[in-house]
Structure 1
Amino acid sequence: MAHATKFALLGLTLMLAACRSDPIHYHTLIPQQPVPVNSVDVQLEMISVPPQVDRPQLVIRQSNSSLAILETEWWGASLADELQNALINQFSSNSAQPGMGLRVDVQRFDSVPGQYALFDARWRLRAAGGSDAGALNCRSVIQTPAGGTIEELVVAHQQNIKRFTEQVSQAARGGASRCPAVH
């Protein structure tokens, strides 16, 4: 009987060890440091992202034709919601100026650990409540070197979002008359 109990305990221990999974790590595109308040009022109207990357798990590029979904590295929400929250956070304003409406269509959101984070988006800026006829249509392609860890990759994406909001703010301050120069 003692052997049966030992085998039962050993079997139970092995089963529990086999069921254990690696912990999930959650990441956000909102930086830890507060963002300075913008002098222009930009309201995010819409954002779209490619369906390949619009999921809670981080998706990384492994080669020219291969993607990997990281099952233990997750965004705090879907990527579209993370981007929306990050942009709203960056565009918070106390401005009394009339607002501008922004639509963002992300073309590529590449994550390559140890190499770079890429944000490629077409965007439209117009006076809030204005017609599409007077809208400014631009494209931003922003790439930031990234370290080999997922944390460093996420920080590179945060920097891309900050640079993107600076470009949009520059266009808004200029009356949405021309796309910002990209350096």
Structure 2
Amino acid sequence: MAFSLKITLVTALLLLTACRSDPIQFHTLIPAQLGNQSRGGTSEIEIESISVPPQVDRPQIVIRQGNSGLAILETEWWAASLVDELRSAMVDQLLNSHSQRKMSLRLDVQRFDSIPGQYALIDVKWRLRSLGDSDNTLITCRSTLQSPSGPSIDELVVAHQNNVKRLAAAINQAAGGTSKGCPSSQ
């Protein structure tokens, strides 16, 4: 009787171990801050809205496979929805804006491609306009930014963080500049 109880317990433990799933890894578009960077104050650029393609608008990270395939990574998630991650990362990057006036920003992401071992790409139309009664200057631009990525998801996320940083730099340049044109993508 004791022998059959032991076999039952061992079998149950083996079944439970086989049912174990990999833990979920969470990632963010906000890079870790190095050193004592002064991040005081608030941004003069208010984010009005952000939209992303529905294919990537989910908490799981979506990667491209081949020319036509997508894979939803069930154990690799954004810390928030992709729209919220982009909003938080842009707010973080726009904190040190040198804009002389209050501005409103609208982002419409056309593509958000993730290809481990190759690159991370963001293609975004953005509109920046002044807030206020006397001046509602409008600038509409399109930025396509691509950064190389290593094979891991962590390296892919760092490549996306780099793209967001470059996008915020272009927006800051447009907000602080006197010219009415779009900044060139670096």
User: Quick check: 1:32 aligned with 2:32?
Assistant: yes
Determine if contact 2:56/2:112 at 8 Å carries over to the other structure: yes
Mean Cα deviation higher: 172-181 or 107-116: 172-181
The aligned counterpart of 1:142 is 145
C-alpha displacement of 1:96: 8.0
Pair 1:36–1:62, CA change in 2 (3 A): farther
Q: Is the 8 A contact 2:113 2:120 kept in 1?
A: yes
Once residues 167 and 36 of structure 1 are traced to their aligned partners in structure 2, the CA distance between those partners, rounded to angstroms, is: 20
Which residue in 2 is equivalent to 1:117? 120
Cα offsets for 1:51-98 (capped at 9, x unmatched): 110111100001110000011111001111100100011111486832
Aligned-pair CA distance for 1:39 = 10
Aligned AA for 1:135?
Answer: L
Give the partner amino acid of 1:25.
Q
**Following the alignment from structure 1 to structure 2, what is the Cα–Cα distance between the partners of residues 56 and 176?**
38
Unaligned runs of 5+ residues in structure 1 are: none
Alpha carbon RMSD of aligned pairs, Å? 2.4
Q: Distance in 2 between matches of 1:85 and 1:155?
A: 15
In structure 2, stretches of 5+ residues that fail to align are none
Query: Which residue number corresponds to residue 58 of structure 1?
Result: 61
Paired residues, what number?
183
Scaled by the length of structure 1, what TM-score is found? 0.91
> 1:2 and 1:94, CA in 2 relative to 1: closer, same or farther beyond 3 A?
same
Distance 1:65 1:141, change over 3 A: same
**What corresponds to 1:23 in structure 2?**
23
The 5 A counterparts of 1:1-183 are 1-33=1-33, 41-93=44-96, 97-129=100-132, 134-175=137-178, 177-183=180-186
SS in 1 for 2:181: coil
SS in 1 for 2:105: strand
Native 8 Å contact 1:29 1:82 kept in 2: yes
